[in-house]
């Protein structure tokens, strides 16, 4: 009986197989993005095959990879393709995708300089380029994180640290028990991610004060200003929302910050996708004045078109980040180490090389390429708005200011409540159909579709196809009846 090869030899042999086959696998996967269905029907049935016990010896690389590819064909949402308009999901530029694959192959760890000099240095350079792209002050600090939620977490954590220091204590050391309530003021456009961050940081969702002028969440500036005056000089946090997810509307960034600056507040801007308005002269006015905030959050896997996951937090005061996320141990670099330890100014210590993709896409396409990408998406949104307006059975429910188009299917003769029910059922039908990935939401009390355009692959041809599918399925759902409202 032959001796079993050692595990290192087995895996080295498999690594050789991988290097021979990976090109073909990637070519098939990337090459199918434009044509693959957005949400394959029957995914639940295909995924039942995963309900199995842990294998004792395993099947080896090749059959496992083949099975994975087949499962992805049967049950993988094509979120990188041109027909995905759900949430705000971007694609990946070729440069970003190649660099991200390289970061994974190199097993890049960006906790501190010594674990990856190139990864850490490239992250700092990419963050500097992003500050230039968004017109943020060059002396701000920053960190790459998983996405918008954690970018908001960083900005709000810095604000929480600042708030405690205004009261004379260190939140990161002493906690919040027995301390005064921390007021947080914002508009009705506030994202669920902000509420999650407040809960995780012990501030509490219930301490969030929203000032709204109407059912859509638009800010009541007079009420907001009055709320600040009622603080009577006590410190607080203000969250400005640069792009809400239902209709793409913005808080008045410059005006809110100007009002806030008359009081003792930390101003955080949630610009997960809306900060990209800064890139185009056509939309720059929507975020004018953002540079006067104290912290800003933005997502890269939305409109920068880099792979998931990739978000960025920018903070005016580096010291607050360092105190909020202090992380020391005998085996770790000292706090006064002249070489950077990025894991000590952000939530995560285990940090992958997100900077490769960010640096690569900016290096490959520059400021002009990013502007063209953003404006390409703006044009797609405008094209859909025009098509909706021209269709007798579609209704545009708000002006399109950026990349989200809020509309509903409206064949006529139905009440708002009946239309809500019809569009809810139509939303389910669209997902079941699978040709497009798009969701419904609420604009005030009304049920809407809110396709968001943030992928370079999407063309006006895909937009036209989407309109055809919505009208086709809408007519079928309406003819099928079954409305429970009215």
Q: pLDDT, tens digit, for every residue of 190-231?
A: 999 999 999 999 999 999 999 999 999 999 999 999 999 999
- Summarize the confidence of residues 456-476 as an average pLDDT: 98
Domain match, 209 and 339 both: yes
Task: Please tell me the predicted confidence (pLDDT) of residue 482.
Answer: 56
Whether the per-residue pLDDT at 486 is higher than 60: the answer is no
pLDDT at residue number 483: 47
Q: 310, 334, 365: which is the final residue of a domain? A: 365
Arithmetic mean of pLDDT, 27-34 = 96
Percentage of the chain exceeding pLDDT 70: 99
Residue 185, domain extent = 97-365
CA 178 to chain centre: 35
Considering 303, 333, 365, which residue would you say is the last residue of a domain? 365
CATH at residue 355 = 3.40.640.10
How high is the pLDDT of residue 267?
98
Which of 307, 338, 365 is the endpoint of a domain? 365
* Matching residue, tokens 């301490």: 207
**Cβ contacts of 385 within 8 Å, gap of 6 or more:** 396, 400, 405, 407
**Cβ atoms 145, 151 nearer than 8 A:** yes
∠362-275-455 over CA atoms, to 5°? 60
Q: Strand 184-186: give its sheet, edge to edge.
A: 141-145, 311-315, 295-299, 265-270, 236-241, 184-186, 208-210
The pLDDT tens digits for 14-24 are 999 999 999 99
Count of structural domains within the chain: 2
pLDDT of 258-285, one tens digit each?
A: 999 999 999 999 999 999 999 999 999 9
Are 255 and 317 in the same domain? yes
- What pLDDT shows up at residue 2? 65
Q: What is the pLDDT of residues 355-410, one digit of tens each?
A: 999 999 999 999 999 999 999 999 999 999 999 999 999 999 999 999 999 999 99
Global model pTM greater than 0.85: yes
Q: Are residues 339 and 198 in the same domain?
A: yes
List Cβ<8 Å contacts ≥24 apart for 26-29: 26/101, 28/69, 29/69, 29/72
CATH at residue 405: 3.90.1150.170
- Whether 355 and 407 share a structural domain: no
User: Is residue 406 situated within a structural domain?
Assistant: yes
Residue 133 domain flag: yes
pLDDT for the residue numbered 133: 98
The answer to whether residues 335 and 409 belong to one domain is no
């Amino acid at each position: 009986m032959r001796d079993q090869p050692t595990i290192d030899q087995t895996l080295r042999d498999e690594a050789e197989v991988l290097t021979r086959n990976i090109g073909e696998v990637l070519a098939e996967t990337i090459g199918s993005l434009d044509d693959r269905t957005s949400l394959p029907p029957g995914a639940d049935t295909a995924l039942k095959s995963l309900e199995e016990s842990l294998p004792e010896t395993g099947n080896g690389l090749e059959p496992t990879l083949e099975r994975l590819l087949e499962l992805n064909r049967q049950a993988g949402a094509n979120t990188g393709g041109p027909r995905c308009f759900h949430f705000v999901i971007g694609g990946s530029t070729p440069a970003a995708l190649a660099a991200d694959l390289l970061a994974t192959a190199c097993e890049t760890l960006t906790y501190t300089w010594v674990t990856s000099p190139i990864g850490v240095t490239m992250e700092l350079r990419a963050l500097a380029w992003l500050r230039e792209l968004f017109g943020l002050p060059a002396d701000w600090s920053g960190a790459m994180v998983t996405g918008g939620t954690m970018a908001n977490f960083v900005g709000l954590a810095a604000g929480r640290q600042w708030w405690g220091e205004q009261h004379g204590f260190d939140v990161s050391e002493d906690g919040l028990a027995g301390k005064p309530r921390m007021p947080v003021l914002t508009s009705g456009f506030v994202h669920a991610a902000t509420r999650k961050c407040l809960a995780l940081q012990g501030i509490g969702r219930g301490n969030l004060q929203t000032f709204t002028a109407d059912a859509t969440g638009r800010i009541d500036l007079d009420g907001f200003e009055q709320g600040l005056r009622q603080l009577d000089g006590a410190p607080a946090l203000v969250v400005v929302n640069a792009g809400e997810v239902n209709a793409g509307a913005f808080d008045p960034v410059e005006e809110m910050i100007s009002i806030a600056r008359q009081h003792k507040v930390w101003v955080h801007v949630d610009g997960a996708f809306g900060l990209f308005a800064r890139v185009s002269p056509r939309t720059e006015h929507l975020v004018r004045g953002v540079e006067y905030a104290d912290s800003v959050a933005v997502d890269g896997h939305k409109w920068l078109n880099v792979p998931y996951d990739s978000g960025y937090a920018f903070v005016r005061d580096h010291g607050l980040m360092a105190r909020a996320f202090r992380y020391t141990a005998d085996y770790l670099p000292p706090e006064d180490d002249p070489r950077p330890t990025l894991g000590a100014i952000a939530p995560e210590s285990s940090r992958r090389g997100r900077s490769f993709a960010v640096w690569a896409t900016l290096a490959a396409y520059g400021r002009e390429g990013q502007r063209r990408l953003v404006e390409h998406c703006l044009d797609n949104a405008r094209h859909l708005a025009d098509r909706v307006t021209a269709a007798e059975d579609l209704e545009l429910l708000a002006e399109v200011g950026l990349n989200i188009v809020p509309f509903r299917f409206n064949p006529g003769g139905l009440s708002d409540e009946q239309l809500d029910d019809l569009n809810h059922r139509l939303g389910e039908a669209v997902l079941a159909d699978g040709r497009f990935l798009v969701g419904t939401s609420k604009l005030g009390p009304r049920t809407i579709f809110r396709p968001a355009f943030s992928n370079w692959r999407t063309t006006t041809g895909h937009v036209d196809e989407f309109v055809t599918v919505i009208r086709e399925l809408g007519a079928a759902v309406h003819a099928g009846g079954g409305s429970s409202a009215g």
